[in-house]
Amino acid sequence: MLGMLIGTATIVTLFSITTAMESELKDHFDKVGTRILITEGQEKLSLSYRGITVAEDIGEGPNLFSDEKLTALSQLLSYETVATVSPKLVSSGVTDEGISVLSIGINFADEVNVKGYWQVSGGLPVQENQVLLGRHLADNLEVDVGDSFIIFDEKFNVAGILDELGSQEDYLLYLYLEKLQSLTDNESLLSMVELVFPGNKGIEAADSLIDELSKIDTTLAGTRVQDAAEGRRVLVEHFAKISFMVTIVIIVIGSLIMGTTMMSSVKERTWEIGIFRAYGFRKKHIMSVIFYEAGILSAVSGAGGYLLGMLLAVFAAPVIADIQTSIVWNPLVGLWVLVLTVLVGVLASLYPAVRAANLDPVKALNYL
């Protein structure tokens, strides 16, 4: 019984941790979605933006494409599932103090949907002569919210500063897309478009759109943004597969333990079975007795294993899997564990039960 209990507890712990990890990821993807970047001639670019190369040398000859190409994009089947389209132009400007600044032209209303994690001190730009700065860039330029500075030979007011993100965004300047297009003589031209697919199923839709895009006659190419959550998703998938395999092994071992235990029990109680047979118990009655006993043992093991497994998951999950969300005590899972352990216990007792039912009553009575 202890073996079954420990086995059940292990399965429940693995299941709970996997479920919590999947739930956490789902929440993340529900909140952030899946993103892809659409770029032109990607292989020629060298600017790394969020892990994707977008321009080879922005100062001399950026690979830009006309925003009219978005029309072709919008005709793709998978485009219907896109929640947000955020076109961008990347360029570099020099301040009046000679500091080179990587600048990105965006539509702020769209971008905030893409960058749900942005925390802004001050506010987002609402006028074309306002900018949003990364934390480190603001420090380099020695400006704060409300200050002004000159770049692209024009005076800009700092509407807001992003809280430090620990990424390349800390060094970027954001301004209105149309303003940057105008300042750099790149009217209607874009460096990239960022698309957001909502929810946990966004990955399939994003991959589908990338596939569709590769098949139509366009120079645009799409790449899925590989953020930390994406890596974690792969990890969770592997963890789930390993957990499944461990579960199978535990069920097999648990069945063998249960079968051996019941065989041993049948042998020890041979004379009892002889008594039962002498008093008119049919074979089915003998099997019922064995199944009943196995069922009770399994149910106790299942209930104990569920409780122990959940306790282990609650305390172990934050350590093992770095899970921030709390482990959910789901009574339905408990019920399933109970049903499955009883089922495994009863099935594992099938052979001992048949053996018991077929014992010769006279030999069984003389077993003592």
Are 137 and 99 spatial neighbours (Cβ–Cβ below 8 Å)? Answer: no
Nearer to other proteins, 248 or 278 (CB): 278
Nearer to other proteins, 256 or 296 (CB): 296
Q: What is the x/- site pattern for other proteins, positions 239-278, by CB under 8 A?
A: --------------------------------xx-xxxxx
Nearest in space to 4 (alpha carbons), one of 339, 298, 312, 334: 298
User: Is residue 336 near other proteins by the rule CB under 8 A?
Assistant: no
Residue 282 binds to other proteins (criterion: CB under 8 A): yes
Residue 362 binds other proteins, judged by CB under 8 A: yes
**Binding to other proteins (CB under 8 A): which residues in 134-153?**
none
- Residue 48 · residue 191 · CB < 8 Å: no
Binding range to other proteins, per CB under 8 A, among 213-221, 227-235, 282-290, 312-320: 282-290
Compare residues 155 and 363 and give the one whose CB is closer to other proteins: 363
Q: How would you classify residue 98: left for phi > 0, otherwise alpha for psi between -120 and 50, otherwise beta?
A: left
Nearer to other proteins, 15 or 276 (CB): 276
- Residue 262 contacts residue 348 (beta carbons within 8 Å): yes
Task: Decide if residue 293 touches other proteins (CB under 8 A).
Answer: no
Count of Cβ atoms closer than 10 Å to residue 343 Cβ: 13
- Out of 218, 283, 314, 336, the residue judged to bind other proteins by CB under 8 A: 283
Q: Which of 245, 285, 296, 329 binds other proteins (CB under 8 A)?
A: 285
Angstrom distance (rounded) from CA 19 to CA 21: 5
Please, are residues 150 and 95 in contact by the beta-carbon 8 Å criterion? yes
The least distance separating other proteins from the CB of residue 251, rounded to whole angstroms, comes to: 30
The span from the CA of 349 to the CA of 266, in Å, is 10
Least spacing, CB of residue 262 vs other proteins, in Å: 17
SS (H, E, C) 156-220: EEEEEEECCCCCHHHHEEEEEHHHHHHHCCCCCEECEEEEEECCCCHHHHHHHHHHHHHHCCCCE
Binding interface with other proteins (CB under 8 A): 271-272, 274-283, 285, 361-362, 365, 368
